[in-house]
Amino acid sequence: MSSNHRINGARLWQSIMEMAKIDALPGGGCGRLTLTDGDLKARELFTRWCEDAGCTVTYDRLGNMFARREGRDPDALPVAIGSHLDTQPHGGKFDGIFGVLAGLEVVRTLNDLGLETDAPIEIVNWTNEEGARFAPAMLCSGVYAGLFDLDFALSREDADGLRFGDALERIGYAGTEACGDNKFGAFLEAHIEQGPVLEHHGEVIGVVTGGQGQRWYDVTVTGRDAHSGSTPMPGRSDALVAAARLIQAVQHIALDNGPDGVGTVGELHVNPNSRNTIPGEVRFTIDFRHPDDEVLSVMDTSLLAQVGAEKDAKVELEMIWHNPPVRFDTACVDAIETAAEAQKLPYRRMVSGAGHDACQVARKVPTAMVFVPCRDGLSHNEAEWAEPEHLEAGCNVLLQAALTLSRQMAPAS
């Protein structure tokens, strides 16, 4: 099969812009949270497009969606291409969505060219990648890979106490197929970089060799509510002051383990949240990341020491997720690199700073990723932006890598 095959960049862009109309926000982004009515509309649109392209669409017990284009070899495992359709509350048009619709564009292009692949091609939409409504992130690809069990996923609750399983039933996407039964020969995910490296170096393609490790924590600091005017400073048990010390420690721990270590406090809830009451309880989250799991353990130890040193309030620390670093499959990475070279696109090998479904699936299936630049490295923001020509280039690389892997998946006759 020729390396000169090209996708329809205008059609890919139009599809992304059409999907972006669902739960669109005033600032140009999307707020399409998992298992909401907007998620349902996105799934319905995706299903219609896939069926129009001749695919058979199924979904498993957790609502992970699989759109299959058959290949000529019925014994070959499919080459899967996908990402996710859910967004952050103030998310952009491209994070996740590009990866799903790039898979659709690959199938549409194969149809246009009248090409039959050796192995089937499957487009995947993973449920709840973002974790913005139901923590942790990459929940359902994690169940697929065996990192979480089904009951754990179904029991996750949102901020209003609604269970994941009940929300899934409500939108009608609780399938009967066990999560993990859908077998792949390889999995590819295209994504915007969500960082500044490619743009800074003037490169178009990131050949992603793996993802860094993550540890997520839930922290509850308990002090004592008291009147802000009549309670002397000595002897106060101010939960927010204690939380501030811990938050500052997160910053220092990340800096001490640089340049690759990062630490973030992304959520903060203060009780009773009254101007003239000393805070009695603070709940917040911590996100530690590093490409070396041993260093990530050092960061964890440093955090535990800081918690143990707090004397003015009670601190409860729960690590709700440990996602070790992952290395992607050599053959899949090489297929992406070869495609970028064949198309004379400037590229670099790199490790993903963000978590992706591919990082979960890689623990079960040969996997790799394609990155394209995003403006100013900005993501999880309504201003998130990727140039049409970069999206087209990334999808062309995806097409060629999928064709290469499809030939490798088919058993020798």
Burial 179-202 (b: 16+ CB within 10 A, else e): bbebebbbbbbbbbbbbeebbeee
User: 412 falls in which pLDDT band (50, 70, 90)?
Assistant: low
Which domains, and CATH codes, for the chain?
9-212+325-409 (3.40.630.10), 213-323 (3.30.70.360)
Quick one: tokens of 385? 């932006």
Considering the chain, what is the average pLDDT of its residues? 96
Instruction: Report pLDDT digits (tens) over 14-35.
Output: 999 999 999 999 999 999 999 9
Give yes or no for a contact between 260 and 290, defined as CB atoms under 8 angstroms apart: yes
- Res 49: pLDDT: 99
What's the full length of the chain, in residues?
413
Q: What is the dihedral of CA 229, 233, 236, 242, to 10 degrees?
A: 110
Q: In the structure encoding, which two tokens stand for residue 36, read together?
A: 């909401």
- Picking from 65, 58, 74, 57, the residue whose alpha carbon sits closest to that of residue 116 is 74
pLDDT given for residue 74 in this prediction: 86
Percent of residues, the chain, with pLDDT higher than 90: 95
133, 166 contact by CB (below 8 A):
no
CA distances from 254 to 46, 189, 297, 353 (A): 40, 28, 12, 14
Query: Which alpha helices (DSSP H) does 343-381 contain, by range?
Result: 357-361
Q: What is the pLDDT of residue 4?
A: 81
Average pLDDT of the segment spanning 255-266: 96
Q: What pLDDT is attached to residue 1?
A: 45
The pLDDT of residue 3: 63
CA 377 to centroid of chain Cα atoms: 16
The predicted pLDDT at position 410 comes to: 66
Q: Which residues are 56's β-sheet partners?
A: 68
**Is the sign of the CA dihedral 91, 95, 97, 98 positive or negative?**
positive
